[in-house]
Amino acid sequence: MTGLALVAHQFRYDQKAFWRNPASVFFTVMFPVVLLLIFGTVFGGQTVDVRGGIKTTTYYVPAIITLSIISATMQSLAMSLVIAREDGRLKRGRGTPMPPSVFIAGRIGNSIVVALIMMALLALIGRVAYGVSIPWSQLPDVVLVLVVGAAAFACLGIALTAAIPSQDAAAPIVNALLLPLYFLSGVFIPDDQLPSGVIHFADAFPIRHFFEAFFDAYVPAAGGGAGVSWGNLAIVAIWGVVGLLLAVRFFRWTPRSG
C-alpha cells in the first residue's frame, strides 16, 4: 500500500482504537455533551446580547461545538500521542517501512472525523432539547470552517506533544492551556459579559478566532448569513501551519522518559 491507501488503512485502525477506548470516548464525546446539557439547563431561557440579542442556548450550541472540535483534535491528539510515544508504540511503528507522514495524516484524519461526528451529535441535541435550529443552508460554510479549524488544532496538538515530557504531564499541561482560554474566549462565558480587555487578550490565541469563525458560520445573522469570517479563519489556519512546522521540527517518536 502506498500514499492515500496507506493513510486510509491507518485511519481505519485509528477509528477502531478510538471508539473502543473508554477514556477517549468519555473526554471527547461525553464531556461536551454533558457541558451542553448543563449550560442549556442552567442558563436556558435567558438571552445573550450578541447580534442584537439571541437565546443563550443559541449561543452555547456553537460554543460547545467549538470546544468539542478542539477537544477531539488538539486535546485528544496531544494526550494519545504522548501516551503512545512513552509506551514505545510510536517507536515500534517508526521501525517499520510506514512513512511518518502517513501515520500523522491518519491521526489528523481520524480527529477531523471525530470532530464532524461531535458537531452532528451536539447540533442534534441542541435542536431536540433546546430548539436551536440546524443551519442546513450554511452547511458547506460550517463544514469548511470546521475542517480548517480541526486540521489546525490537530497540528497544534501534535506540536504540543514536544512540550509534554511524560504521560502523567499530558492532561495537566493540555488543560492548563485550554481551560483558561475557553473562559477568556467566550466559550463558557458569553461575549457580552466579558470585558473588552479580556477579548483583546484572547485574540492573541487561536481559540477565540476559531470560535468567532464557527459562530458566524453556524448562527445566521438577521437578513442573510454572516457566512465565512475569512479573517478569523485565516488566523486559525496560520496557527495551524505554525503548529505543523513546529511538529515537523520537534515531534519525537521515542520515549522521553527512560
Partner 1 sequence: MSYGQTEAVRGIDFEVMAGEVFAFLGPNGAGKTTTVEILEGYRDRTGGEVSVLGEDPQHAGRSWRERIGIVLQEGRLDPYLTVRESLGLYAGYFRSPRPIDEVIALVGLEGKAEERARKLSGGQQRRLDVGMALIGDPELLFLDEPTTGFDPSARRQFWDVIAGLRDLGKTVFLTTHYMEEAQRLADRVTIIAAGEIVARGTPEDLGERESQAATIRYRAAGREVKVETTTPVETLHELTGAALARGEDLEGLEVTRPSLEDVYLELTAAAEVGE
127 binding partner 1? (CB under 8 A):
no
* DSSP labels, 204-248: TSHHHHHHHHHHHHHSPPTTS-----HHHHHHHHHHHHHHHHHHH
Span interacting with partner 1, options 94-102, 158-166, 202-210, 232-240, rule CB under 8 A = 94-102
Residue 137 C-beta: closest distance to partner 1, Å = 39
- Within a 10 A sphere around the Cβ of 52, how many other Cβ atoms? 7
Give min distance, CB of 8 to partner 1, in A.
Answer: 10
Q: In angstroms, what is the minimal distance from the CB of 212 to partner 1?
A: 36
Residue 159 CB, shortest distance to partner 1, in Å, is 22
* 21 interacts with partner 1 by CB under 8 A: yes
For partner 1, the closer of residues 98 and 147 by Cβ is 98
Q: Which stretch binds partner 1 (CB under 8 A): 87-95, 150-158, 160-168, 202-210?
A: 87-95
- The DSSP 8-state label assigned to residue 75 in this structure reads I
92 is an interface residue for partner 1 by CB under 8 A: yes
Burial class (CB in 10 A: 0-12, 13-18, 19+), 208: buried
Residue of the chain from 52, 53, 95, 224 that contacts partner 1 (CB under 8 A): 95
Sole window of 82-90, 167-175, 203-211, 218-226 interacting with partner 1 (rule: CB under 8 A): 82-90
Q: Which stretch binds partner 1 (CB under 8 A): 89-97, 119-127, 137-145, 236-244?
A: 89-97
Q: Quick one: which H or E segment has residue 94?
A: helix 89-94
Size of residue set near partner 1 by CB under 8 A: 25
Contact between 16 and partner 1 by CB under 8 A: the answer reads: yes
Cα(188)–Cα(33) distance, rounded to whole angstroms? 14
DSSP characters over 161-193: GGG--SHHHHHHHHHHHHHHHHHHTTSSS-GGG
Q: Which amino acid is at 106?
A: G
Alpha-carbon separation of residue 51 from 48, 188, 189 (angstroms)? 9, 18, 16
Residue 1 sits in the site that holds partner 1 (CB under 8 A): yes
By C-beta, is 95 or 195 nearer to partner 1?
Answer: 95
76 binds partner 1 (CB under 8 A): no
Of 6, 63, 119, 233, the residue at the interface with partner 1 (CB under 8 A) is 6
| CA 100/CA 7 separation, integer angstroms | 10
Q: Establish if 87 lies at the interface with partner 1 (CB under 8 A).
A: yes
Q: Which residues contact 185 (CB under 8 A, 6 or more apart)?
A: 202, 205, 207, 208, 211
Distance CA 185, CA 207 (A): 7
217 binds partner 1 (CB under 8 A): no
Residues that bind partner 1 (CB under 8 A): 1, 6, 9-10, 13, 16-17, 20-21, 84, 87-89, 91-99, 254-255, 258
